[in-house]
Structure 1
Amino acid sequence: MKLGISTYSLYQALGSGAMSVTDVIDYVADLGAEHVEIVPLGFDLTNNPELVDTIRNHAESRGIELSNYAIGANFADLDDEAFAAEVERVKREVDIAAALGVKRMRHDVASSPDTSIGHFLQQLPLLTEACRQVADYALQYGITTSVENHGYFIQHSDRVKALVQAVDRPNFKTTLDVGNFLCVDENPVVAVASNIGLASMLHVKDFYYRPASYSARDGWFGTSGGNWLRGAISGHGDIDIPQALRKVKEAGYDGYISIEFEGMEECRLGTKLGFEYVKRIWNEL
């Protein structure tokens, strides 16, 4: 297992200009992480291609691996022209992943106001075709693409599994986010056990979880079932992270694990405490 950090964890500082992406790489390396996952929020690789070489070279100079490249995408509810354009756009992002030197890339697959199972099944053939085209394109670079349990539409463990199995490509898997299953009110430990065999990448994220009757204020957002979530430092929230990681370890997963922090605390502190917690728990299992 290689434990690292997603640049998304430092988005507060990136977005405000307090840190650059090279500052983030330095911070991650100084914490003793083994890899950094590149999520282009707070910086732009598409319109600033020179930054790709800067990131790759700076990570190499600090002795830290680039593990994964994660971007947004949406292939749902599109006409033929928009669908083709989105597939081509994501292929260009694959080129960026290759230039970074990573062998894993997560792209979102679908977002829709209609998150029903019926709509999912109706869209599944088109989503499958899009993911196949991107995975087949990525194969030339030796890159494994993946869908994350993210965005409500494809967030349940069974929907993720259905898509991965339908795409049926050895280089298409899932970026498994331990915390994200709670967004659709699914037990994270059960869901992790169900999907870990399909994972090319693992995110550890924690949430505070409250029932629908809770009087939510700033910082909280709703689950698909009307309950409430707020980002937490890993180990501070309501997810049974030790048990989830036990399922990961028992399954024989030995790849990259990224800390994702999206809480209200200062991002450097939240990232550091979460990283130290997960490192300790993994070593104790």
Structure 2
Amino acid sequence: MKISASTYSFGNMLYSGEISQLDCIRKAKDIGFDAIEFVDILAPEGTSKEEYAKRLSDECKHLNMPVSSFTFGADLLNGSEGNIHHEIERVKKMVDIAVILGAKVIRHDATTGDGRSFDSILPFLADTCHEITIYAASKGVRTTVENHGFFCQDSDRMEKLYNAVNHENFGLLLDMGNFLCADEAPEKAFGRLAPYAFYAHAKDFHMKSAMLPDPGEGFFKTRSGNYLRGAIVGHGDVPVLHCIKALKNARYDGYISIEFEGMEENMKALTIGMNNLRRYIKEA
């Protein structure tokens, strides 16, 4: 397994305007990552997403940093601007951008839900994901949905979606931390879903029970009311090593991308997290 850095992990620096996505590539390289994952395309004003994707691709080639994945949001049930057809076409255009980047895997979200049960909307979600993955396959890009966004987050729902789409070009992006958002044990979820993984995120959280007082700034609530705060990989409560063992048991040999969203300084957090993750991969 090789280790990638998500541009999202530079969030404190990136979204403040201190650095750009172009700078993230060099910083990830300097830390020692094997590859870079882009989360959306944050093009400067006056530059199209396609133009900026080409610049990012050129820089990756110059620094010999493969693009491990391209991640972006979507809501295939509620649509973009209330238009589901428009959303599907937008996702297909993002597949085209993945081609420019040189990414062979993308993650698009499924949905945040609309009040109906998961099982009742599953056929529609599956058909939509199927349409997108067929288009992506024609471009040489594999598609995934992540355990993300509370609604499509539990391992049983993810497994149902995977089986319903039923296409060799469609798989899952498994995030080690995100199962806690749905109050599910990550190691159990990974044991269940690892055979379907096309990609993985290493994310850690500090967790406090809903029975305890609100810990305050930096924490958010899980679906049932527990408290989570982003942590350096290896410093929190996510069983990272156990999840890696589950991936190895399933013979997964793809990228694991660090997705850090803690309060610590980005460069230091990523350096510590990467070193911990490399050690865990060797130990697993």
Three-state SS of the structure 1 residue aligned to 2:94 is helix
Q: Structure 1 residues 103-112 or 37-46, which shifts more?
A: 37-46
Q: Which residue of 2 aligns with 1:110?
A: 111
Shift of 1:126: 1.2
- 1:232: Cα distance to partner? 0.5
Gaps spanning 5+ residues in structure 1: where?
none
Q: State how far apart, in whole Å, the 2-side matches of 1:265 and 1:192 are.
A: 27
Distance 2:23 2:79 in 1: 38
Deviations 1:220-270 (A, max 9, x none): 111111111111111000112111211112221101110110001111211
Amino acid at match of 1:263: G
Q: Is the 8 A contact 2:41 2:49 kept in 1?
A: no
Q: Is the contact between residue 149 and residue 177 of structure 1 (CA under 8 Å) also seen in structure 2?
A: yes
Equivalences for 1:97-246 in 2 at 5 Å? 97-112=98-113, 114=115, 119-216=117-214, 217-246=216-245
Alignment match, 1:10: 10
**Contact between 1:37 and 1:69, CA under 8 Å: does it hold in 2?**
yes
Cα deviation digits, residues 114-145 of structure 1 (max 9, x gap)? 3xxx6111111111111011101101111110
Q: Could you tell me how far 1:22 is from its partner in structure 2? A: 1.8
Instruction: Write the deviation string for residues 43-72 of structure 1: whole angstroms up to 9, x where unpaired.
Output: 479933211111111011111100100000
| TM-score normalised by the chain length of structure 2 | 0.94
Aligned residues: 281
Alpha-carbon distance change, 182 to 213 in structure 1, aligned in 2, over 3 angstroms: same
Partner Cα separation in structure 1 for residue 142 and residue 42 of structure 2: 25
- C-alpha separation in 2, matches of 1:60 and 1:37: 14
Unaligned runs of 5+ in 2: none
For the aligned residue pairs, the C-alpha RMSD in angstroms reads 1.8
* Distance in 1 between residues matched to 2:108 and 2:44, nearest whole Å: 16
Whole-Å Cα distance in 2 between the matches of residues 71 and 156 of structure 1? 20
**Per-residue Cα deviation, 1:92-131 (whole angstroms, up to 9, x for no partner):** 11110111111100000101363xxx61111111111110
Asked if 2 retains the 8 angstrom alpha-carbon contact of 1:8 and 1:41, the reply is no
CA contact (8 A) 2:39 2:70 kept: yes
Alignment of 1:260-275 (within 5 A): 260-275=259-274
1:277 is matched by which residue type in structure 2?
Answer: N
> Where in structure 2 are the equivalents of 1:38-57 lying within 5 Å?
38-40=38-40, 42-43=42-43, 47-57=48-58
Q: Alpha carbons of 1:182 and 1:277: their partners in 2 closer, same or farther (altered >3 Å)?
A: same
1:259 and 2:250 equivalent? no
SS in 1 for 2:143: strand
Shift in alpha-carbon separation, 1:234–1:170, aligned structure 2, 3 A: same
Query: What is the percent sequence identity of the aligned residues?
Result: 39
When the two structures are superposed, what TM-score results if normalisation uses the length of structure 1?
0.94
SS in 2 for 1:16: coil
Q: Is 1:71 the counterpart of 2:72 in the alignment?
A: yes
Determine if contact 1:15/1:41 at 8 Å carries over to the other structure. Answer: no
CA distance in 2, matches of 1:259, 1:180: 13
